[in-house]
Amino acid sequence: MFNNKTIYSILIGSMLMFLTACNITNQDDDAINQSNPTDTDSQTEGNSQPDEDINTEEEQPEVDEAEELALPTIALQKGDSGEEVKLLQKALVQIGYPITESDSYNQELVWAITDVQLQNEELYVTGIYDEATRGFLEKALAETITISPGEGLTYQENQSLDEETVEIGNPYEVLALINKSHALPEDYVPSDLVVPDVRFPFVDDKPKKQMREVAAIALEEMFAASDLESLDLFAQSGYRSYERQNGLFAQYASTYGEEQANTFSAKPGESEHQSGLTMDVTSSHVNYSLVVEFGETEEGIWLAEHAAEYGFIIRYPKGKEDITGYQYEPWHLRYVGVTAAKEIMDRGITLEEYLDERITQ
């Protein structure tokens, strides 16, 4: 039998062994906690459960609407093509124009740009996309202004008048082809007619002093340049209404016969004068007349060399009668814009040839 002292020693020993076992267990738990921390900054790629703040899927870049609808920064006109044209088309579609996407600045796009320009009095109406038009479209895309498709240009598509002639659907376009097979609408009167500040050989305030604003400004610049060369240039005849052209042609036809009259005078609707983009010019050296001899004067020679710098062409050049349908007229200036004018005059071609090469009418 154990005595009391022995029993006491056994109990003390048992208690020490129990406490030692508990301490070892706690140390093992601490070691486990240290090898598997819960701090997200210490997680390794081998963890099966990533932190909930980490996106394991590839992030998709946000679409920048403004960038997608960025407008071209270069001028564009009928016949141009490429990505810049597509950008312009997308922007116009965003505004509400029903345009079919292509890579060509076609007649549909010309119509839309003309319609846009007619809705802002500060823009020149040309059908050509330029810096001023770009600024207006940017405001429309930002929804700070409203453009209503179709509100500006009431004419839309070419209409057949007969087997040989169509009535053009966009008479405001500066590159509009007006000839014996492409006529202006009978009721067309340009809405932006002004009188250019240039010399005339008469003082009466007649409608023929007028031109469309974009052409009138260019004419003023050209006359100012000719003055620096001490030339004696005069403006003789600009805008002419459908009714006025009808009376003139009837008069010529009764005198010379219709076929002969149509070699130097246009039938009503087929005259470029009705467009407001034309001015007949002359000088004192030919007694202010409109005659072939004007082309041999200092003024006529200077115009042939420099008119294109201001956007004008000699519309009916010598040797091109079979294309234009009219006799040589060194006095007849037609505004088409600087880009087209320089190419036409440099190459010695007609407006018909220029347009035929760029687009199909």
pLDDT tens-digit readout, 304-326: 999 999 999 999 999 999 999 99
| Sheet of strand 278-283: strand arrangement | 233-237, 278-283, 329-335, 312-316
Predicted confidence (pLDDT) per residue in 92-131, tens digit:
999 999 998 888 999 999 999 999 999 999 999 999 999 9
User: Tell me: domain 65-141, CATH 1.10.101.10, correct?
Assistant: yes
pLDDT in tens, 257-315: 999 999 999 999 999 999 999 999 999 999 999 999 999 999 999 999 999 999 999 99
Every domain of the chain with CATH number 3.30.1380.10 lies at: 192-358
Task: Check if the beta carbon of residue 173 is closer than 8 Å to that of residue 110.
Answer: yes
Top CATH class, 192-358: alpha beta
Q: What percent of the chain has pLDDT over 90?
A: 75
pLDDT at res. 40: 37
DSSP 329: E
Note the pLDDT tens digit of each residue in 41-62.
Answer: 334 334 444 444 434 444 444 4
Structure-derived torsion over alpha carbons of residues 154, 237, 127, 192, reported in degrees to the nearest 10: -60
Cβ neighbours of 150 (radius 10 Å)? 13
Q: Which residues are catalytic?
A: 329
Q: Where along the chain do the CATH 1.10.101.10 domains lie?
A: 65-141
Residue 26 clears pLDDT 70, i.e. is over it: no
**pTM, entire model:** 0.80
DSSP state of 48: S
